[in-house]
Every structure is written in C-alpha cells, then in structure tokens.
Structure 1
Amino acid sequence: MILGLYVHVPFCLQKCHYCDFVSYPYSYPLAEDYLKALELEAAYYARLFPELKINTLFIGGGTPTVLEERLLSILLDCLQRHLGWQQDAEVTVEANPDTLDLSKLTVLRRGGVNRLSLGVQACQRHLLQLLGRTHGYQEVVQAVEDARQVGFDNINLDLIFGIPGQTLDHWRQSLRLLTRLDPNHLACYGLQWEEGTPLTTALDKGRLKAVSQEEELDMYNEAIIFLTAQGYRHYEISSFAKPGYYSRHNLCYWHNGPYLGLGPAAHSHLNARRWANTADVELYVSQLAKGVAPVAESHPLSRQDSMIETAFMGLRLLEGINLKQFYKRFGLHLTDVWQQEVAELRADGLVELKDSHLRLTPKGLPLANLVFSKFV
C-alpha cells in the first residue's frame, strides 16, 4: 500500500498572529516526551499496516526546526526505523528561516530530507512584525544559501498576500526578491482570518483594516503573471513550480489519495476512513504511554463522501479533475452525478471541460470556494 506520511511537530518559538494550527511553546523536556510518544505511534502503525510503503513524507508543524540537532536526528531515525520510506521518496521538512543553521541543515540532509519548505510570508520588516514572524529577509537569504551549500536542490518558499498594510508594490517587491533566490517552488496564499487569532481580534476591534477584495485579487493575479513569466508553472490554485518540482506530497492530498498522520492533531485518510489525533500534546503523550492510540475522532467514508472530496480537491489543480480516472475509481461519470451543477458552472464561465478534464477557468480561479460549494 503506497501512501503519504504526515508528521506534526507541535512546537514553535512563538505563535504567529494569524495562525490557528495546533502548536505549543517549545520546551525541551516536553519535546523529548513527544518524541518518545511519536516512536510508540510509529511502531503501532508499522504493526497495524506492515504493507505500508511511504513515497512522500512531510514533517510540519508548528515549527519542526525548533528541535535541537539531537532531537531532529532522533525524529528522523525513529521514522526511518519503524516506517521507512522509498528510495525515491520526497521527504520535506517545514522550517522558519531563523531556526536554521548549517549544522541543523546538515542533520536534515544526512537524515534523508531532500526538500525544504521555508515560511517566508513577506519580505518587509513591518509586515513580518504585524504577522508575528521572528525573522527578517536577510535570514531568508542566509537559510537558502546554507541549504544549497549542504545539498538541498528542492526548496519551497511560502508567501502571504492580503496582509493589512500590504500594497501591490510590497507584493511585487517580495516576488522579485524571492525569485532572485531561485526557489524550485513557491506557495502564495491569501491571508486567512482565523477566529480567535490576535490578527482577527485586532480586526474585530477596529485596530486593523483588511485589504479589499479588489486589492487581494490584484495581488493574486500579479503572482500568476509574474511567476509564469519567470518560468514557474501555476499548477494548483496557490502553487507555482519549476518543471519537475510539483509538491508530490500535496498532490497526494489534491488527488484525494491515502495518507497517514502522526503526532498531535494529525489527520489520516486510509481504507475509506478518516481519523484525527487528539490536539493536546500532553494527552497524546499519556495515551501512547498507556498503549492507547491517541485518536480523538474517526468516521467511515461512504462512496458519496469520497466522490465529493475527490471533486473539490481535484478542482484545486489547474489541470482539473481527470474524468476518466474519476469513472475508473467510482464507476460513475462526474458529469452525471453533478449534471445540473456542472451545467450551471459552465454557463457562468467558472469551469470548462477540456481534454477529459473538468477544470476551473481563469474567471473561476479566484471564485474557487464558490465552485467547490456546488459539489458538497
């Protein structure tokens, strides 16, 4: 059984002001306890699914690279011993620029990591401070240079547009500066206003003003125009890659493929079932110490559930949904299952049928959530 593996490392130096992901202030003793629990969880799934073959691994967070070199080595060794990964697997670690140095990068590279995903988000100091980031642009430059020096030849940079106070010129400057670093992949996300975060609280209290939808759309379109001109392929709503550098792990999600998640709050999709671990790191540790799987919720997926997820996840890709593969997987034609919805979306110019694919049109790209809602 070939699948993707996600590992959640739930620690950060500090929580960013826009983030609602599960993370905790970094503590060395708690990190050690977490790694002991992670080993127990990895061993549990190795016994439960001895036929697993990992072809993509993504270690995310949190900020995995807040771990000291010794703990990073323990983490990678644990995963390799219990679950392993195929020789040609894509192995990604998420990192913040200021948590990296040559020593840590060497540990990652020697441990089998071959792809680095750096959270940059912006290049302007005042925007980084607003977001609660702990680095500046020069740390990004240094991290990329160091990563190349130790042998990383697959680097992704994350960027956010639609930040309060961000102008189109700021956005253009960030795109120019980061493409000079020659990353293999860029992910450009619109800012999400998550409930309960400091940024959303400031907005609700009138201390911040959101960027207008028109300005945000201008930034999104600028990314498409500029990055395409620089030789990047726009292959997913938010993702741009040089040829041969699509994110294989994310493609697993977008094709609604199977994956296993380890760590607090990690989600899994396997054998027509979805389940999620407890988000509480101390409960995660204590349950595994007792020999109990740390699953907080689990539910089976009907064929209809899987068809819905396959449809709206597949539409995130610029190539769209392969209708022949959809029929092979479910024994039904997508255009029969959602006949009226597809007809209406085509009439509105939001989707098109081309080369046996149903895909978003340029008009439909910025309205993707509206399109997705038709399939739910």
Structure 2
Amino acid sequence: MVRGVYIHIPFCHQICNYCDFNKFFFHNQPVDEYIESLGKEMALWANDLQKAEIETIFIGGGTPTSLSVDQLDRLLELITTYIPMEHVTEFSSEANPDELTLDKMQKMREFGVNRLSMGVQTFDQDLLKVLGRTHSNDHVYEVINHAKQTDFPSISIDLMYGLPNQTMDQWKASLQEAFRLKIPHISAYSLLVEPKTIFYNLLSKGKLSLPGEDLEAEMYGYLLEEMQSHGYIQYEISNFAYVGKESKHNLLYWNNDEYIGLGAGAHGYVNGKRYSNHGPIKKYMQTIETGEQPLMMQKEVTNVEKMEEEMFLGLRKNEGVSLAKFEERYGLTLRDVYGKELDELLQRELLVLEDNFVRLTSRGRFMGNEVFQYFLK
C-alpha cells in the first residue's frame, strides 16, 4: 500500500557544484505554470491517493524555498486539496537557509508542514564557497530562531564530509557547531562526485583535491563517536536523531514501502512498479496537458529484485532486516534465498544475526557498499 508522497520542485537560484538532481535555474522558468501542472498530476493520481493511507509528504528539489510566499501558498493549497491529510504524521520540506524567511515558515505551518530538512552541508565559510553554497552561518541561526517563533516541531540539517581539501579539524568544528545548536536530526553524508556536476568536470581535469579513503573513514568514525556521546541515535548509516525525531519519510524508502512521486524527474514505487517522470520541465508539462501520466520509464519489479532491494535498503538501517518480515513478504526465509551470502558475511563479522534481525556490525558500516554487493544477484 502507498504510504508516502514525494513532490519535486526543480528550481534553484544557485546550482551547487556537487548536485546531480533534476534542477533548473529559477530565472525565466514557468514556475507558476509548473505548480499548476503539479496539481493536474495530483488529480491524475486521485484514485490511488484516496485508496492510500498517506502518512508522510516530502517536498524536495531543487529548492522548494526558492518559491515566493504566494507560490508556496498555491503549492500547499493543491497538496492539501488532493492528498488526504487525516493520516499524515510527517509533512516535510527541504529548505535553503538563505531563502527560508519567517513569512515562508508561517505559511508552511499554516498548511501543516511540521518538519524542515535544511541543506547546511558545513559551518565552514570557506568550504561553503567551494560547494557553491550562498548561505552563511547567520542564515542558519536566523532560521532556527524563526522555527522557535513559529513553533516548528522539528528541524533536520544535512552535513557533508570528504569535501575538497577538508581537514579533520574543519569536520570536527562543523559537527560541534551542530551539537551546540541542538538540532534534533542530522544527516551526514560523504561527498559523492556524480557525473554532470561541476565537481565531476573538475575531477576529470585533475583540478579537484579530495581527502583519501583513510581520512574519510576517520571522519566517519569521529561522526559515530560524537553522535552517540551527544545523545543521538544512529538509525541509518548516515542518519542520526534524538529519540522520536527519525525521518519517517526516508524510513519508507529504507523499508522498501511504496510511495507516489510527483513532479519533473520524480521517482515513485506504486503497485509493484517503479517509475520516473520526464525530467525536462517542458516535456513534463506538455504530457500533463494531454491528460496522461508524465512517465518517462515504468518497470515492474520482479520478486528477485524486490528481495535484493529489501536487503540493500534494509541493511542501511541500524535495526537491519527483519527475518519475519522478509518471510511474510516473499514466502521464503532469508536463509532460503541468501544462505551462502549470510554465512560468509557473518564469518567476516560484517553482519550479525540477533533478535530475529540481520544487521551490519560496526565494522560492516564502514564497508556497507561491499556488503550490499553480496545481495545483488
């Protein structure tokens, strides 16, 4: 059953050097028309939305906070018109610190948005410039003050490590600043240099200096130690939260549950099929106008693929993969399908089997990608 909705806003006032998401410069884009197209796409999903029990909504991008207050008002009006809200417990929006004004936060709260996911990335001003970010630390502090004024229930920030020329001291300083602000949820990711990004072009020309694997592992180790000592629970490889502040929407992905994706370039998983929408805004909007779903690709997920996804998504969570849930979903025990792989990984002490769950060990978290490869047939 569908339990979540993702809504993509592909507009940015600034394109970051590391970003490979579907995004476009805000200037001269048909933003108002795009929002209306989103409403029409929601209408196309009306039957599925009414049958579902939607628990989480996530507005991502791009940059949702690149919208004006009036545009945000229209977007939220469409969302709350077409998406049944009675079961929604988490309504999140991504945000840039230098674009999230008090009036935008008030508008979000008016429509029930109760969680912000803010792209901070680092508290080091020099590294922010390297990333192509336009905000300052003062913008972050201002947003946190606005959150208190508007009684915002939860804020999450993203931090990144393994950045170009980043030192261990810079990483430590960013983490300590986040702890000082008592942010209830922190996502911390190592930099991945993706194709079609400015960083990728620089790397291919030998003009991007990245920390080595040893330093990156040291940064991750420091992250794990400090999160625990400051009262955060690690519930996924890169995600940490105070008790009860975990991201319910992201847990949908890691639990391999179904969700509807709306907007240009959005991905979804409904009725056993994974799909992606057209990425170019014009193509997306033109298809919507014909009354058809703006699908670029749709693929039925085979049972084998579902089991693979159950493993490499589920093992990202600290609780791991439930043996009982696996058997209930697929009619086979985990050992029936992956007995040989389990034995080898247990012997290498990269996995542990306890309390009817299989999960990564502390050592396994440092080698997660290698472990996941075992379950890809």
Q: Which bracket does the TM-score occupy, shorter chain normalised?
A: over 0.9
Deviation of the 1:151 alpha carbon? 1.0
Q: 1:324 to 1:87 in 2, by over 3 A?
A: closer
Q: Normalising by structure 1, report the TM-score.
A: 0.98
Q: Give 2:99's aligned residue.
A: 99
Give the aligned partner of residue 41 of structure 2.
41
**Alignment-mate amino acid for residue 149 of structure 1:** Q
> Aligned residue for 1:140?
140
Confirm or deny: 8 A CA contact 1:8 1:264 kept in the other structure.
yes
**Counterpart of 1:326?**
326
Query: What is the letter of the counterpart of residue 235 of structure 1?
Result: Y
Partner of 2:75: 75
State the partner residue of 2:214.
Answer: 214
Relative to structure 1, is the Cα distance of residues 86 and 11 closer, same or farther in structure 2, using a 3 angstrom cutoff?
same
Q: Alignment length, in residue pairs?
A: 376
**1:9-43 CA distance string (max 9 Å, x none):** 00001110001000001147511111111010001
Aligned to 1:371: 371
Q: Give the Cα separation in 2 of the matches to 1:220 and 1:168.
A: 10
- CA distance in 2 between counterparts of 1:35 and 1:84 reads 19
Is the CA contact 1:9–1:60 (under 8 Å) kept in the aligned structure 2?
yes
Structure 1 counterpart of 2:223, which letter? A
Amino acid at match of 2:355: D
Q: Distance in 1 between matches of 2:244 and 2:48?
A: 34
Alignment check: 8 A CA contact 2:49 2:84 kept: no
Partner of 1:165: 165
Structure 2: how far apart are the matches of 1:311 and 1:157? 27
* Contact 2:97-2:135 at 8 Å conserved across structures: yes
Contact 2:171/2:219 (<8 A) preserved: yes
Alpha carbons 1:63, 1:96 under 8 Å: kept: yes
1:314 corresponds to: 314
Aligned to 2:270: 270
2:250 maps to 250
Give, as a single letter, the amino acid of the residue that structure 2 aligns with 1:318.
N
CA distance in 1, matches of 2:47, 2:310: 29
In the alignment, which residue of structure 1 is the partner of 2:118? 118
Q: TM-score, normalised by structure 2?
A: 0.97
Distance 1:360 1:47 in 2: 39
Equivalent residue runs for 1:320-359 within 5 Å: 320-359=320-359
Residue 17 of structure 2 aligns with an amino acid whose one-letter code is H
Query: SS of the residue aligned with 1:40?
Result: helix
1:335 Cα deviation after fit:
1.8
Q: Could you tell me which residue of structure 2 aligns to residue 90 of structure 1?
A: 90
Gaps of 5+ in 1: none
**Alignment partners' CA distance in 2, 1:8 and 1:51:** 22
Deviation at 1:293, TM superposition (A): 1.2
8 Å contact kept, 2:260–2:270? yes
Mapped to 1, the partners of 2:263 and 2:172 lie a distance apart of 37
SS in 2 for 1:364: helix
Q: CA RMSD in A?
A: 1.2
Aligned-partner Cα distance in 2 for 1:295–1:203: 33
26-35 vs 348-357, which moves further: 26-35
Identical positions, percent: 39
CA offsets, 1:149-191, max 9 Å, x none?
1111211010000001111111110011111111110000000
Deviating more after overlay: 326-335 vs 61-70 = 326-335
Mean CA deviation greater in 111-120 or 138-147: 138-147
* Partner of residue 181, structure 1: 181
